[in-house]
């Protein structure tokens, strides 16, 4: 998945009108958004196609899918069927559950991102100790898209070393959580940025500031 200006806008809003309004303000600078449960629980999976039909954006559904294989398959089939271009799934549930997501992505000719480690402080307690092994698992399963944190550059660098130079890494945690955009792009292909943009008084100016910082 090619991402314009290396920026994925995280749309953790709960109102479709506000979401589309924001997309309209930023449409010249971005072409890929990440939505999750806040929007689709509030507005339904129809919100996926609303974004695509209005702006022709790539839509990544960040559901962090983490269930048994049979349930994962249903979640992914429904989400891809609703128009999503990609889904993010957790890796800690093991290869059989991840494979169910991967098979669905292949069947629908869409993309799957494997989450290796999250960007928030709580990830240190449980997920971090297995993050490198999750990355290795994904690599060995021929997964080519990964999620890894900008808030811990040393670990992002190691995950890059594990998955290899040709893998596509998208990285959350820039801005509000403290991740540095320019430093993150030394190891990641794209930045996932949400609150720093959509909570700003002027989202377009906030995005322009970020873009200037990564030149």
Domains of the chain: 4-213 (3.20.20.70)
- Nearest CA among 84, 87, 12, 16 for reference residue 48: 84
Print burial letters for 129-144: b (CB count within 10 Å at least 16), e (below 16). eebbebbebbbeeebb
Q: What angle do CA 190, 117, 71 make, to 5 degrees?
A: 100
Written as six digits, the tokens of 190 are 């794209």
What is residue 209's predicted lDDT score, i.e. its pLDDT?
A: 95
**pLDDT tens for each residue of the chain, 215 residues long:** 899 999 999 999 999 999 999 999 999 999 999 999 999 999 999 999 999 999 999 999 999 999 999 999 999 999 999 999 999 999 999 999 999 999 999 999 999 999 999 877 777 776 888 999 999 999 999 999 999 999 899 999 999 999 999 999 999 988 777 789 999 999 999 999 999 999 999 999 999 999 999 97
Question: Which of 25, 29, 52, 64 does the annotation list as catalytic?
Answer: 64
Instruction: Specify the residue for token string 């955009």.
Output: 181
What is the pLDDT, as a whole number, of residue 105? Answer: 98
Integer Cα distance of 144 and 138 in angstroms:
8
Any catalytic annotation for residue 64?
yes
Any bridge partners for residue 61, and if so which?
35, 87
- Distance CA(50)–CA(98), nearest Å, equals 28
Please tell me the predicted confidence (pLDDT) of residue 118: 82
Q: 115 near 170, Cβ under 8 Å?
A: no
């Amino acid at each position: 998945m090619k991402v314009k200006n290396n920026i994925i806008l995280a749309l953790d809003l709960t109102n479709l009108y506000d979401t589309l309004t924001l997309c309209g303000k930023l449409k010249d600078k971005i072409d890929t958004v990440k939505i999750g449960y806040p929007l689709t629980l509030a507005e339904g999976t129809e919100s996926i196609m609303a974004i695509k039909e209005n702006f022709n954006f790539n839509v990544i559904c960040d559901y962090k899918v983490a269930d048994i294989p049979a349930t994962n398959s249903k979640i992914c089939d429904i989400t891809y069927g609703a128009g999503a271009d990609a889904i993010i799934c957790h890796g800690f549930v093991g290869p059989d559950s991840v494979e169910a997501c991967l098979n669905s992505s292949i069947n629908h000719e869409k993309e799957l991102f494997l989450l290796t480690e999250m960007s928030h402080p709580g990830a240190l307690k449980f997920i971090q100790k297995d993050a490198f092994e999750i990355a290795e698992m994904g690599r060995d399963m021929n997964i080519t898209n990964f999620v890894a944190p900008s808030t811990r550059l040393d670990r992002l660098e190691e995950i890059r070393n594990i998955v290899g130079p040709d893998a596509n890494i998208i990285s959350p945690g820039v801005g509000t959580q403290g991740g540095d955009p320019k430093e993150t792009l030394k190891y990641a292909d794209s930045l996932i940025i949400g609150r720093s943009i959509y909570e700003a008084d002027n989202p377009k100016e906030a995005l322009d500031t970020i873009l200037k910082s990564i030149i």
